[in-house]
Amino acid sequence: MYKQLIVLAILTITGCNTSETTNDINIETSKHETTLKEYWDYQDNEMIYNGGIKMIPITTPKGEFKVWTKTIGNNPTKKVLLLHGGPGMTHEIYECFNSWIPKEGIEIIYYDQLGSYYSDQPSDTSLWNVKRFVDEVEQVRVALDLNKDNFYLFGQSWGGILAMEYTLKHQINLKGLIISNMMASIPEYNNYAHEVLGPQLPADVLQEIMNIEKNQDFENPRYAELLMNHHYTQHVLRKPINQWPEAVNRALKHLNPEIYVYMQGYSEFGISGDATLKNWDRSDDISDIKVPTLVIGSKHDTMDPKHMEWMASEIPFADFLLCPQGSHLSQYDDQKTFFEGLIQFINTVDSDEFQKM
């Protein structure tokens, strides 16, 4: 039923003809369009004063800290909280959303998780675990007054793990979920990296990478050089390094290596070393996700697109969007496919026809 409605919405929006049984369906994606006054009518004086920025206090087992958020737009039914990757990356990898989402009347909320550059950065590895991050997202939700009538959660890469975990615990609060460029199993991700993507590298390059990993010589500058020039430009962002967006380069400079290495390892070539996420697997649980879901995968991703398509088939109310030109950051290397699909999903879930189902 949900997949059929998505198709009908797309056909309606693009003006394509459908069969006689669907010609009369008209999804009013513009019902909740906001006026200019409403668009800027924040109820929070701090956000008005700071251009949408709000520092949110977070309670943790190690005390109270603050995390950085920035809201752009103000839509009563379409609010998208963005969970960045890493762990330890920043919201900056999503700055290109500014060119696509606000003009559609959709509210977006940038957010640096605890430990990331614009938020507090305590140095305590006991804080870097999935359960605590889930609790943090819930505290952010409450502080921003997000609820099942307006709350869309977007998570990419590590943010996709966090989004899945949050949904499995708190989906009653969600209107819609977007899992972008993330598989439901780290062991499967590792297999894909080493069994499928690795052999695509030049043989001498792969051998040198494997030797460095075998010797755990991860601090060797040659390791980053090999991966950046041969793996990242093919599977993380498909552009020459000198053409990578300024926002992405800035985010990489702001990466918190303490969190990244502790949870992910030393690179995007699978999970390395004793990183704490190496055994994470929710393959058997994603069918418990009952909220409308869009899974985004890319043909050239570090993640297996076939696995992500399978995820969409397992989640009861889900669709799959493939970015054929994209890689791990498909919001940059396949922008049109990525953003048009994301916008259509949000507008469809927000439509009267869908809400009546």
The catalytic position among 112, 120, 135, 301 is: 301
185 has which bridge partners?
A: 281
Helix (H) or strand (E) holding 54: strand 53-60
Take residue 69 and report the two structure tokens written for it: 């958020």
Given 120, 300, 328, 351, the catalytic residue: 328
Bridge-based pairing of strands 53-60 and 63-72 is antiparallel
Q: Note the helical H segments in the chain.
A: 2-14, 36-40, 45-49, 130-143, 158-170, 186-191, 203-214, 221-227, 233-235, 246-254, 257-263, 305-314, 330-333, 335-350, 352-355
Whole-angstrom CA distances from 155 to 151, 158, 304, 314 are 13, 7, 17, 18
- Those residues with Cβ within 8 angstroms of residue 161's Cβ, 6 or more apart along the chain or in another chain: 130, 155, 182, 277, 280
Strand ordering across the sheet containing 176-180 = 53-60, 63-72, 107-112, 79-83, 151-156, 176-180, 293-298, 318-323
Largest Cα separation within the chain, whole Å, is 65
Q: Provide the β-strand partners of residue 322.
A: 297
The Cα 90–Cα 68 span in angstroms is 10
Of the residues 112, 116, 119, 157, only one is catalytic, namely 157
Give, rounded to a whole angstrom, the gap between the first and last alpha carbons of the chain: 9
Q: From the CB of residue 241, how many other CB atoms can be counted at a distance below 10 Å?
A: 11
Q: Give, for 293, the enclosing helix (H) or strand (E).
A: strand 293-298
328 catalytic per annotation? yes
Q: Is 185 a catalytic residue?
A: no
How many helices (H) and strands (E) would you count in the chain?
15, 8
Indicate which residues carry an active-site annotation: 157, 301, 328
